[in-house]
Amino acid sequence: MNRILTTLFVAFLVLSGCAVQSNLDEGPDDVLYFEPIAIGQSGSIRDTLEVVVSDEGALSEALAKVNPLGELPSIDFNQSMVGIIAIPTNSGGFVVEVQSVEQRGEEIQVHYLLSVPGADCITVQALSLPFQIISMRKAQGEFRFIREERRYSCGL
């Protein structure tokens, strides 16, 4: 009986050593610090805006397209950049929220969530432009915006 168990144990070790290595995503090279600095629901554009600006002139040009609630804090463009994400919608109740900013090789990924009101929600029936503006640590790379949409329920 011991001989059978020993043989099975050795066979198990040999077979497990031959297991296929899976290529799991090892995660980002770096997670960049970011801070939300403004939100809003209106603006003058009808197309999606996903942009990162690194100077005052470009920021002024981008801010002309959205109407932030309140003033933005001063930005030190020597150390920071500003990201703006705005999504035109046909009704109210939508929310844009940046989840993470990650460096992956030469690419910087801005992951954000678009919360979509469920059928049980009562919303304003007018064109809307939900947006979020963030300040983030300055970094070099090509920016890619990755949107996740999630429907929420109002419980009505």
User: What is the rounded distance in angstroms from the CA atom of residue 131 to the CA atom of residue 17?
Assistant: 51
Tokens standing for residue 128: 């809307």
Mean residue pLDDT across the chain: 88
Q: Is the dihedral of CA 95, 61, 79, 68 positive or negative?
A: negative
| Least confident span in 2-6, 46-50, 128-132 | 2-6
Which tens digit of pLDDT belongs to each residue from 57-107?
A: 999 999 999 988 888 999 999 999 999 999 999 999 999 999 999 999 999
> What is the predicted pLDDT for the residue at 27?
79
The number of residues making up the chain comes to 156
Q: Residue ranges of the domains in the chain?
A: 28-152
User: What is the rounded distance in angstroms from the CA atom of residue 128 to the CA atom of residue 40?
Assistant: 9
Is pLDDT at 142 greater than 80 in this prediction?
Answer: yes
